[in-house]
Amino acid sequence: MKHYFLPLLFLSNIAFAQTNIVLQPHYEDGNNTYLRDFNPTSPAIGAVDLTSYVWTCDGDPCVGRAFFTFDLSSINVGAIVENATLFLYANTTTTLGFGGTEPHTGVNASHLFRVTEDWDYHTATWDTQPDITFDNSVVIPTSIDPVQDYELDVTELVQDMVNEPASSYGFSIQLDNEVEFYTSLIFASSFNSNEAKHPKLDITYTGQNEVNNYYLNSFSISPNPAQSFINVNFSKSTTTPVVMNVFDAIGNVVKTVNVPNNSNEINLEISDLADGIYLIGNNDGYSKKFVITK
């Protein structure tokens, strides 16, 4: 026979499995380029640099912006991004005339943006460059060394990408000041010959199923004590149907209710149950206590 204290064991803190992935696309898997206004209709196909700059080209001021992507399709919508770190590596072997062995120059403070329009490095040009959003953009501080690698916290930015895959097409780096020339940030792209310097994105996330379980297990009961009914309120709408069971003091299932998809709460009739202590929980075994007094 089951005993009452056994179901209570499920009231302990819930531990969620987290997944870590490291994305560092190389060569044929890479989609990155820089777009420049001095050659506004031509793509920079296979560029070994990811660069943002304000310089002079043939004596006239010119601007460049970097664009690059990572494949996040393995992370389902609904996942929670616990941490995401972007690694960018200075390209000391750049062939750009203003780069050389010291790729970062001037007051080159920049921002990292989410790209919201589809693009491809084979065809993207300055005149056709994709749109960006300023939401959760990340500061790239002015370099303190002409040869400097960057490690950026992009957790919120990647969460946006996971939440909105239909309007997320990678990152763009753009200088904060695109007027004052002789400034640059030059990183290695995924077409660079040194694979260790290709852009890298390290992501730790809690998957959709674990998130669903969290919200299904995070609910409140009112009134408590109760007489004829209880309301079970979920902290977030359910994303899949779930079964809730009511247990009596010795662990027997005395009532079952099917909770449909997209539910914020359920109202459960309990007038047919006797006074006493009960547990209610979902089909994953997590339960909470409520009391009936009439």
pLDDT 10s digits, 54-102: 999 888 999 999 999 999 999 988 788 999 999 999 999 998 878 889 9
Out of 7-16, 17-26, 88-97, 139-148, the most confident range is: 139-148
What sign does the dihedral 69-54-111-103 (CA atoms) show?
A: positive
Residues 273-283: b if buried by 16+ CB within 10 A, e if exposed: beeeebbbbbe
Calculate mean pLDDT across residues 110-131.
97
The DSSP letter of residue 37 is: T
How would you class 219 by CB atoms within 10 Å of its CB: exposed for 0-12, middle for 13-18, buried for 19 or more? buried
Residues above pLDDT 70, as percent of the chain: 88
Closest CA to 47 of 70, 30, 24: 30
| Domain spans of the chain, in order of start | 5-14+209-292, 18-206
For the domain spanning 5-14+209-292, the CATH number is: 2.60.40.3080
Could you tell me if 187 and 196 are in contact, meaning their C-beta atoms sit under 8 angstroms apart?
Answer: no
Round the CA-based radius of gyration of the chain to a whole number and report it. 27
Q: How far is CA 284 from CA 20, 248, 288, in A?
A: 24, 17, 13
Q: What whole-number distance in Å separates Cα of residue 101 and Cα of residue 213?
A: 52
Residue 13 predicted with pLDDT over 80: no
pTM score of the predicted model? 0.71
Determine which helix (DSSP H) or strand (DSSP E) holds 163, and give its type and residue range.
Answer: helix 155-163
Residue spans of beta strands (DSSP E) within the chain: 18-23, 32-36, 49-57, 60-68, 80-88, 110-115, 132-140, 150-153, 171-175, 183-188, 200-206, 219-222, 229-234, 242-247, 253-259, 265-269, 276-282, 287-292
> Do β-strands 171-175 and 60-68 pair in parallel, antiparallel, or remain unpaired?
antiparallel
Q: What whole-number distance in Å separates Cα of residue 84 and Cα of residue 158?
A: 7
Structure tokens at 63: 């601007």
Closest CA to 186 of 13, 54, 26, 40: 54
Q: What is the pLDDT of residue 284?
A: 59
Residue 1 predicted with pLDDT over 70: no
Amino acid at 65: R
Amino acid at 212: N
Structure tokens at 22: 């490291």
Q: What is the pLDDT of residue 16?
A: 54
Q: What is the pLDDT of residue 210?
A: 60
Residue 3 predicted with pLDDT over 80: no
**H-type alpha helices, 9-121:** none
